[in-house]
Amino acid sequence: MTKNIRTILTFINFQIQITDSDLPKEATPNDYMEKVLPILIRNGLVHLLGFGNRLGFDPMPSQLQKLRCKCNFHALKFVPKIQKVGALLRQRIRKYETEPTALDKQLLGDYISSSIPSNRPYNATKPPQKYLALHLRFEIDMVAYSLCDFGGGANEKQELQAYRESHFPLLIERLRKSKTVYTDELRKTGKCPLTPEEAALVLAGLGFKTGTSIYLAGSQIYGGKSRMHSFVSLYPTLITKETLLSQAELAPFRNFSSQMAALDLIACATADVFAMTDSGSQLASLVSGFRTYYGGGNAPTLRPNKKRLAAILHENSTVEWNGFEERVRRMIDEGQRVRPRRFGRSVYRQPRSPECMCSSSSSSN
């Protein structure tokens, strides 16, 4: 690409680009009419850069709510290169062919039926591999921002404090002005990320056997292999996009965290079971929304209540395993109850509402 062409493309992108500094998260529909619509009319295209969950909450006029739902669950598509590699990832997880679901078709488009070469053997007489997808939100940014103590001693505290000072200056400023933060209180109130060990205990309490195939979504787990040792000891069949795709296949995505996350989203959304450890993360919210909308009531999503789980784990020295199993299952069952979207909740995460889904168990027509 010549320098002149790059300059022209940069100029065009500048003309159509809207960033989150132009429109804050709390922007109203009128703000979009004033700032975005003129660009769309003039150029026929708008590039929204850095937007996540904008116009995601109430109050919102009914017609805009319907349009937002249609856009998110029908109009928006992944670009072909993500669909192609996403279909390849799905094929390698499943190992054998399976009848595509409505969710597969929506996320992968025409590539779901394409004949994509695979390094896995194909045998039409064998059933596809079932798997659980886990979004284990235990990266260093989440761990550091939580202010929780994860038992790593002085070295861990120093490392996390250095990360906060480098990446979260506003948090550091707020901490200087606030009262002392007590890590035990944070854990009791459910504000600490689940560790890999705690996630493994929850899955075991729900009855998932040691041979369960688990797709692990996300980036690098804080603490690396040593932190994951207990989890892998219990669930050794652990797979990731990095283990299933070659370096060459992942190369086009490596410098783009959102595109790497898109591959994880596809693997999580199309899983037999999806489990999250942080219900507030954007990836988990989008996955659970798509599974609700297209899952037909057959796409379970497991959400632990971290406050209740903290209480259960606090009593782990006195409760017997059968009692632990019963309490964990009750906690997860209550989180899976079908409920319509409540006021103030994102329609992307909870699409069950008259403006989005015709019923609680099927997608809009």
What is the phi/psi pair of residue 180, to 5°? -60, 135
Which tens digits make up the pLDDT trace of 76-95? 899 999 999 999 999 999 88
- Max CA pair span of the chain: 71
pLDDT for 364 equals: 42
- Same-domain pairing of 307 and 246: yes
Domain count, the chain: 3
- Same-domain pairing of 314 and 200: yes
- Same-domain pairing of 12 and 145: no
- Same-domain pairing of 172 and 244: no
> For residues 133 and 89, what is the distance between their CA atoms, to the nearest angstrom?
13
- Same-domain pairing of 329 and 203: yes
Please give the residue range of the domain that contains residue 209. Answer: 126-137+193-335
- Same-domain pairing of 230 and 166: no
> For residues 140 and 136, what is the distance between their CA atoms, to the nearest angstrom?
12
- Same-domain pairing of 258 and 289: yes
Q: Which residues touch 137 (CB under 8 Å, ≥6 apart)? A: 193, 194, 218, 276, 277, 278, 281, 284
> For residues 193 and 148, what is the distance between their CA atoms, to the nearest angstrom?
8
- Same-domain pairing of 251 and 163: no
- Same-domain pairing of 198 and 321: yes
- Same-domain pairing of 169 and 217: no
Query: Are the CB atoms for 266 and 108 separated by under 8 Å?
Result: yes
pLDDT for 14 equals: 58
Provide the β-strand partners of residue 275.
134, 302
In a domain, 346, yes or no: no
Query: Whats the size of the chain, residue-wise?
Result: 365
What's the pTM?
A: 0.85
The enclosing domain of 278 has a CATH number of 3.40.50
Q: Which of 265, 205, 266, 199 is nearest to 238 (CA)?
A: 199
Which tens digits make up the pLDDT trace of 276-314? 998 778 899 999 999 999 998 889 999 998 999 988 888
Which stretches in the chain have pLDDT values below 50?
Answer: 1, 3-12, 115-122, 360-365
DSSP character for 302? Answer: E
Q: What angle do CA 41, 74, 286 make, to 5 degrees?
A: 105
